[in-house]
Chain A
Amino acid sequence: MSAATGTSKTGHGDGAAKKKKGPGALATAYLVIYNVVMTAGWLVIAVGLVRAYLARGSYHGLYYSIEKPLKFFQTGALLEILHCAVGIVPSSVVLTGFQVMSRVFLTWAVTHSVREVQSEDSVLLFVSAWTVTEIIRYSFYTFSLLNHLPYLIKWARYTFFFALYPMGVSGELLTIYAALPFVQKTGLYSVTLPNKYNFSFDYHAFLILVMVSYIPLFPQLYFHMIRQRKKVLGHVEDYSKVE
């Protein structure tokens, strides 16, 4: 669901011009390193997927070949919330937090926690979507920070999402759906009454709620990216405004 969102440093014209102090030299250096490392990490995952596919000859069970780097680099993205909070990245903490947490949730609270879904093809679907998205996104940030953004990367970032977003969302939803019966059977992460805290939590119901929340949220994020695309890449039809 959080395929390629988040505001970019370049091309985000409205409102960003007000107090443009931007990151200092040290922060820029750190961010360049961070984004390079993340790009490399997701490349490792991409290569791992390809190699495993070639070795096995099937799509089945490729998750296991990249499980560790996926967990490591996806969890590492939590740092991005910190970057916003500290102010070295001009994005909203809430928006970034939401995006990263949804990825981390899928990685740990669904895929890792419910062993039975790990061999599902839907996992491969969202992992591939995430991998391509993140390689483009992190290289985009790297080049932007170095003020040398190739148009190809900018174009890719604001075009590939058309397919990657729905791919990722489908993979995520199918995976959560596949996890439901196992969560219900084992009562995973659930708390029942009575207990001394007078609290209860039904993880199965919660997962259904999460799936339902995609309905209002996904279109909003998708159309936000489309709007961003118009702004960043410009659009030939805009010239027709001069009537």
Chain B
Amino acid sequence: MWPQVGRRGPSREAQKAPALWRLLFHVLSPRPADDAAALPAPEAQARLVKSALRSQGYPRPALVQLPEDGSQGSRELLLALSWLLARGPLLERLLAQIRVRLGDEMPVCECEVLASPGPPAPRVEADGCVDIRHLQWLMGKLRFGWRNLITSQQEHCALLGKVHSYTRGCHSDRSLGHLSVTEAELLRDPEGGRQLLRRLESENARLEAALEWRRRELVFWQWMDTVLDACPPEASQPTFLPRIPERGAGELELVARELQALQEELQAVVETRRAAWEARVGGWGPGWKATQRASEEAVRQELTALQRAWERGGGLAQPHGPHRLVRSEAGTLGGPGLRATEVIKALRSQEACLEAALRQLQGQCRQELARLVGALPGFIWILPPGC
């Protein structure tokens, strides 16, 4: 549908509305929609589109009031689409999502994996209460699953390594040097290879259309300006969609609790230390004021740097996104590309941080439990060894 957007003229027949609802749904889905029966009904799609646009802050209330059956509203939908296009690199992002992957890719971070969680399993909501042992069992199952995952991953890497080393020197692209599994697969299976080629060619067509769109984009925005001007002025107050209970609020609460706990800890530590310090320094003369100010300045700078790490736009110090695996004997390929050793280093430090955080949390729990249990007379808390 994308190449048509650029060619779409100012015609606004009512038939455009359902197509636009569908388009917006696909654009806004958190997961690239697989063509399947998983697609919800058109009315449901429209509702989800409305909700998604609202949650992203779409400013015009007219959208909310549109009927969901697609009988009207193509102009408003077109405005919504343009709004999404104007805000960010929507086109490029979508193209990247459905990109044909020719290499063996490994993500070096976990963002993408979490962002596309896969089709939600049909969940039968058990309204009943569960025994905590069921939770323990689920937890054990999860651990087992992770163990399996790691073993499978090891095997996969071994196989990849073999394929890469057996096809050394085969690739026409010197910087790659060897075939990937996808490429070897296309050699092994001609039918699959033909399909891959077709997909590649259609992607090339899409990319060319996107580049063409870029060249003509200005005209589109000028036209959208006129469309916006032609809209009747809005007068009504925006109506709110009913609140959908969601874990978003829970996330906020969790973080709030953590910050609260952190602040209290810091407060306790600071009070004692400050008191101790004042006691020591009380008799000191004004001579050390200069050094005091220097320290303050240094600390201020350090903390500002720390704050930058999480602020909006804070530098992505870590490698990001999927990378194509290329096997090269150490030192031969001096070309561009991330080195595995660097990634390993970064991951190890991340691992250490997370382990420390987890241990700290577990310790907190232990303390809390001991406190709760210990408050009762006559009971002893016995821990298994190693805790």
Bind each other: no
